[in-house]
Structure 1
Amino acid sequence: MNYSAAMEETQQLKTQLDLMQAALDHINQGFSVFDADLKLVAWNRGLWEMLDFPQTLARRGTHLEAFLRVNAERGEYGPGDIEGKIQRRLARAKLFEPHYFERIRPNGQVIAVSGTPLPQGGFVTTYSDVTEDRRRQEKLERTVEERTRALQQSEDWLRLVTDNIPALIAYLSPGPVFRFANRRYADWFGQSVTSIAGRPAPEVVGEDLFREIAPHIERAFEGNAVSYEYERTRPDGTLAYMRSTLIPDMTKDGRTLGIFVLSLDATDQKQAEAALVQSQRMDAVGKLTGGLAHDFNNLLAILMGNLLTLGRMEDPVSKEILDARLSPMLEATKRGSDLIQRLLAFSRGKAIDPQTVSLAGIVSSAGRLLDGSLPSSIELTVRGTDETIAARIDPTQMETALINLAFNARDAMPDGGTLTIALDETRLDELEAKDLGIAPGAYARIAVGDTGSGMDADTQLKVFEPFFTTKSFGTGSGLGLSMVYGFIRQSGGAIQISSALGVGTWLTLYLPLVRLKAVQSPATQSGQAATLKRGQGELLLLVEDDPDVANTVTDQLQNLGYSVLLAESAEDARTLALELPELRGVISDIIMPGQVNGLALAREIRGKRGDLGIALMSGYADWSSLSGQDRSCEFPVLAKPFADDQLADTLQQILMKDR
């Protein structure tokens, strides 16, 4: 190659290097290349501007040590042995290993240094000013820290608030799994607020309770707000009623993330409601008293008239004449016993106790109670004898509801009219059910109608509100219809009102239908009852302190084919029961003034002679409160007075059981 050609090639190479240098100078990072001897080969302007190196170093061949010395002498590596700092850095550089580190300069500038080794030795290094990035990162970290503290404070405040609210609060995620519970909720289920988090709901609340509330939880996860009640036994053995509301936690697109749980202790409220129900029931009993007094006077008139007639007869009378006098007397006593038992059952009542019952029997019983309690100007019509139409309800509450509706109808007909109670079944389609706020399907329908004064539209809207009444001050509580409404809704049904001024009012109750199997006809039942189950001379011990009652029951037992031994005290009964091996059974009165009550006596005898059949009898409706015993009686109890067939059935039950 001649000289001119070499010069031209050198010029082209210089031009290319100048172009490369110009490109490197436009990079916003510092750039340097050192060879295997740690001597500077290439750089850009950004390196000198960023790190403020003297321009005298900006030449090929400058050793790395010169750059390190400048930095060390101006304190970039911190105080201490300058030569030592330089030599340690040179030793690391001679390893030619990839490296990255960040160095904070005395002026606060943060430089990120990244070195990559070259194949023939040496390395390429880039220098980046990351000061602003690190400041933004620090600011972000401070913000996150501050917000974390604020969130923790908010959680602490939330925990403080929820723990002091007199309610049970929790949050369930799908599973369902508990994610949060306040202190009261955790305590209620024997957990702590930390131990309850993350645990499956069945494990926390118990399998039995979870089976009961699982359908409500499922509905809530489907996006529905749900309210329900449940009962649970406290550690001290008392029963608590809880009222829970589940609110779904939903996203804008309709997904359910979880459910909020709010539970309140409704025990006091349930007790207050029970007391209010009992008050309303007793109010109805008071209204029934006049009619019942009329019925009892008629019964007493039958008894007295026939007894006086028999007393005036001086000569022996024939069996036909005697039967003619005794039959109406026996029928009157049966009617009186039935009447007083229904009245006592109605007045006694109890809290909501749902059971599947035939509605025809309840409607019929309410009709009999009302029959003598309405003025003669009001005609009572009861329709509906299909005993297969049933519902799961509290029967006493249902009868109370019908009585309240009937008395409201009576008050709306001061000049007389017609009161109708009708029972049938119906099927509600989706539109009809939606209007009533219940599910479509089959329902038992009880309609109570009158031909009274009726109501205007404004009164119909308010009639179910608590304490609303159209009666004069002091004559009505305004709670009757609201309690009927609450009972029907609690039983899964609905109530509908239809009324017009001057025409009358119809109140229609809808209850979810339960279909019972066909019930035996009264004729068949009476035919079966006519055949008494007689004894075969078995020896029975009768414990009764009233001589007249003892004689009457003794006659009944003997007429049924039994032998009878009478004991007038608990002490005599105890001795005879333990000393007579031929004794087969014991019948004892429960309430014996001044003595051991019959239930305690029966249990004592049963403990020593398990072979004896034992039955009890009582003339008290609420004998348990008088005897100081609970109602968990393991023996059959006959309510005085009792007919021969009732006595015969009970004796067969206890004697056959112990054979």
Structure 2
Amino acid sequence: MTPGTPLSAANTYELLVQAVVDYAIFMLDPEGYVMSWNPGARRLKGYTTEEIIGAHFSRFYTAEDKAAGLPRRALETAAREGRFAAEGWRCRKDGSHFWAMVVIDPILQDGRLIGFAKITRDMTAQHQAQLAALESERSFRLLVQGVTDYAIYMLSPEGCVTSWNAGAERIKGYSAAEIIGRHFSRFYMPEDVSAGMPWRALDIARREGRYEAEAWRRRKDGTRFWASVVIDAIRENGKLIGFAKITRDLTERRETQLQLEQSREQLFQAQKMESLGQLTGGLAHDFNNLLTGIMGSLELLQTQVARGQTQNLERFISSAQGAASRAAALTHRLLAFARRQTLDPKPIDPNRLVAGMEDLVRHTVGPAIELRFELAPDLWPTRCDPNQLENALLNLCINARDAMPDGGRLTLRTATTILDAQPARECDMQPGEYVAIRVADTGTGMSPETLQRAFDPFFTTKPLGQGTGLGLSMIYGFARQSGGQVRIASERGVGTEVCIYLPRHRGQVEEGETEPRRPKAPSWTEGGKRVLVVDDEPTVRMLASEVLKELGHAAVEATNAASGLQMLQSDPGIDLLVTDVGLPGGMNGRQLADAARQIHPELRVLFITGYAENATLSKGTLEPGMHVLVKPFTMEALAERIVDILSEH
């Protein structure tokens, strides 16, 4: 070709075909003999142009395909339908086979067939990958179909069953013919279907990619089983095409778990009964001792009075009062342990309270023990009963002193702490912000067995007669009733640390709020008021009335809330209501006070109670003009409280 000569269309096509090396492109005459051969054909088939021009194209077919007449039918199909396309094994010159994609197009001139254009591409690698995928899919299907412990099946996007394995048939009871095309909601319990649970499950899987649950499901025969269910959304190119669902029958495992839980509950009940027996035995022992002191003193007092002897009366009276005081203290500790004591919570600064105890603690532990205070700066306030907190800390300091008979170091620390969900759960507390008050010693420490029983009521390691075994129990009850917790860490020969956690208070602490209350001497001269005393215990009514008479007030008595309310309705001149919280007859003391204030809105009220009835007393919050006095109380304390209340303006 002369340079500069324009290329014809035929020349351009021929140059393009000759440049292609990835495809075998060649021409056949109407009978199938090769008329042209490009470099791609030489590379793919292995023949040179001189070797193949004029040869029949059937030599590229396998012996089986030639015997079946495939080369001839390929040309006939191309001539008749305008194209022949197929995939199959073809042969190279060296006898090796490759998987070929073949296209044969007829070449017509003036409507007359003059030959064929043939394109062949080597697709061996793609074919092998496809075979591997098909084999993998086939193996997976066989695996799924062979699984009998799990129900594995597919759902359409609407929730209709599209496949069903042997495990599904075994667990659910339906054959594939019975269930394919049916909605999977028939496996749910009727009440779950009514609540729309099957559709919510698909919505969650569609939205989040997976839905997991355990619940009752239904078999074909109507029986139910406890199922573990997983539903996965299946997407192709981002479009939802269905769901894969796996169900496992866990009925047997659930029954085993229920049996274990029942066994644990029975063990827990047995432990509770053992603790109750221990509590009852210890309580009976201590109270019998105290009652012996009270009854014996009163009996001797009665004998001496009958004889007209007065020289030893004061001794017997003091003995009875002392035993009664110890009984009151024992009751207080029991109520603290049971979280039933009446608390007077208020916002406090823990640092101020702990620092204010320094002199008391120093005198209590003695000079042989080094005392340290490590108070955290910017400590949060808390809300609790400051007197009970002082008692708890003093109790811990006494325990620490007893654990260091040869001296040692006692440290009181304060800190702030934030408990997240996991550590809070481990401590049986609510997550949140807490104030931590720690009392640590370098004493003898506790054995693991002793540490495990430290909070048990009446458990003590002290010699007989030197401890009630209620100190730590009381501290535990106080902390729990205040919304906190107590934790002990101890090691033999190293020491013990007790930590009291109390919730952070968000409000402010007013100056002086943590100061201990100073009792005021009652004014025995103020009088002239009318006071209604409501209590079902005659002795309490009698004593209260005597105190009121000593104060110069008029006492009116009622045995229950109903009669007390009648008196309030008929006597508008009542200045003070003194009522027990727990009253017989259906209406309690708080309800009586609320009803009384409907009649006399400014009526002042004094509740007397043996334990904290938080629900009755509005969770510890009283309205203005309402007060609480805890039984047992001295007559002096009752008189003091009455004077204080009646002197309010």
TM-score bracket for the superposition, by shorter chain length: 0.3 to 0.5
* TM-score, normalising length: structure 2: 0.44
Bigger RCO (CA 8 Å, 6+ sep): 2
